[in-house]
Amino acid sequence: MITVRQSQARGHANFGWLDSRHTFSFGNYYDPKHMGFGTLRVINDDHVLPGAGFGPHGHRDMEIISYVLEGELEHQDNMGHTSIIRAGDVQRISAGTGIAHSEYNKSTNQPVHFLQIWILPKSRGIEPSYEQKHFSVDQKQGKLTLVASPDGQNQSLTINQDARLYATVLNEGDRIDYRGDSDRLCWLHVAKGSVEINGETLETGDGAAITEEGKINLLGKKDNTEILLFDLG
């Protein structure tokens, strides 16, 4: 079964410096029908203006993934990490017993577009940790590339949960088949572009809950379509 969550149905918050769409309940947006999907708790589609960002704030017992689509985001945390997250970069923070971090767009003229993803952890109270890797367009072109997994398989980021996150870039006419376990949950998010999934067409910002499907067929409908696929235990 595929249940489409259309982009315009998501929650919306606009603070001037931040324009954000919430796939699931977050902040002042609350919808009891959309509190998450399995262990997937948050997908926020964030646009941050130049010179703006998120000041120091804390997290605990959450797997936090930042996936940058455009621009650059500066990260600092109380574990001593300072880094720039650029388009194609994926960052993972296991918040565990608690971390504090900030995220800023230090550019004077370039906005940042990124996805902030939260996944509930398998184990609580672990030692906080941080990881960042780059996945080029070539690595993702026309195939599902594993970017996060519980065991770091295929040089993916390691997350504290029985979940796998794949990314792909499709051109018009590109086809991919994903064979999963029909007992597991899958969620698909269209970061940009257009894709057909098992006969359903999704556009930029759309998502889909996928249950009891042993095979997922993806067909690119526009060039440079970028998609995230979550396989959740």
pTM over 0.75: yes
- Angle (CA) 113 118 124, round 5°: 150
- Angle (CA) 89 206 31, round 5°: 105
Q: Could you write out the DSSP letters of every residue in 146-171?
A: EEEESS-GGGPEE-SSSEEEEEEEE-
* Distance between CA atoms of residues 66 and 48, nearest Å: 13
C-beta of residue 228 within 8 angstroms of C-beta of residue 195:
no
How confident is the model at residue 183, as a pLDDT?
84
How confident is the model at residue 233, as a pLDDT?
83
The CATH homologous superfamily to which domain 2-232 belongs is: Jelly Rolls (2.60.120.10)
Q: For residue 179, how many other CB atoms are within 10 A of its CB?
A: 9
The domain segmentation of the chain, as residue ranges, is 2-232
* Distance between CA atoms of residues 206 and 2, nearest Å: 12
Give the pLDDT of the chain (233 residues) as one tens digit per residue.
Answer: 999 999 999 999 999 999 999 999 999 999 999 999 999 999 999 999 999 999 999 999 999 999 999 999 999 999 988 999 999 999 999 999 999 999 999 999 999 999 999 999 999 999 999 999 999 999 999 999 999 999 999 999 999 999 999 999 999 999 999 987 878 999 999 999 999 999 999 999 999 999 988 899 999 999 999 999 999 98
In sequence order, which residues have a C-beta less than 8 Å from that of residue 78 and are 6 or more positions away? 99, 100, 101
- What share of residues in the chain are helix, strand, coil (percent, to 5)? 5, 55, 40
How confident is the model at residue 182, as a pLDDT?
79
